[in-house]
Amino acid sequence: MDSPDPTPVAHPCPQSADELLPQVYEQLRQLARARLAALGPGQTLQATSLVHDAYVRLTGKGANWDGSRHFLFAAARAMHDIIVEHARSKASQRRGGGHRRLDLETLVVAHEAPCEEILALSEALGELARTDPRKHRVVLLRFFGGCNVEEAASALELSPSTVEREWRFARAWLHQRLSDPNVER
């Protein structure tokens, strides 16, 4: 996905990924296990590998993080990217590798969606990131991060009502975008 990564927020004591990983490691492993378990049989990613790959991506940027929430958001984003890359690889290996129409109402969280639906959603999210980065971040936290409204609001430093409003708009926009038969996927 070609959207900007979250940039570290100015913080009096920025922390490195090495300092933050022990604080969120088990939470990231649980999130990774849940996401991978629902991809179904035949998937080759492992939860520990997914967390470690995400960590490598984050440390490669040399960034410092504004606490564990900021790091967790960036790690969820990195895991999203890895899952999408894996789904693309699997889809391209299948005959045709084509996309199909997607019903957004059936997508509750990313770990419950088949690879083709994750790819279609990823393409739409790329477009959303270019037009409205805040709504994009809300979707990443709610859909790929598995956060509820309050958790997303806390991570984004927004009010829960703002997150709920952004989430409703983004879902409607994504539904329209993913349901449009004239949009090539």
Evaluate whether residue 36 is within a structural domain. Answer: yes
Selection from 86, 134, 127 nearest residue 110 by Cα: 86
Q: Are 156 and 137 in contact (CB under 8 A)?
A: yes
Please write the tens of the pLDDT for every residue from 73-94.
888 888 888 888 877 777 665 5
Evaluate whether residue 58 is within a structural domain. Answer: yes
Selection from 36, 51, 62 nearest residue 118 by Cα: 36
Evaluate whether residue 11 is within a structural domain. Answer: no
Please write the tens of the pLDDT for every residue from 92-101.
655 444 444 4
Q: List the domain range (segments joined by +) for residue 58.
A: 17-179
Split at pLDDT 50, 70, 90, the class of 133 is very high
Q: Total structural domains in the chain?
A: 1
Evaluate whether residue 5 is within a structural domain. Answer: no
How many CA atoms does the CB half-sphere of 74 hold within 13 Å?
A: 27
Split at pLDDT 50, 70, 90, the class of 38 is low
DSSP code per residue over 113-143: S-HHHHHHHHHHHHHHHHH-HHHHHHHIIII
Evaluate whether residue 66 is within a structural domain. Answer: yes
Selection from 99, 95, 104, 158 nearest residue 128 by Cα: 104
What's the pLDDT score for residue 26? Answer: 84
Evaluate whether residue 6 is within a structural domain. Answer: no
E strand intervals along the chain = none
Evaluate whether residue 22 is within a structural domain. Answer: yes
**Exposed / middle / buried, residue 152 (Cβ in 10 Å: 0-12, 13-18, 19+):** buried
Evaluate whether residue 10 is within a structural domain. Answer: no
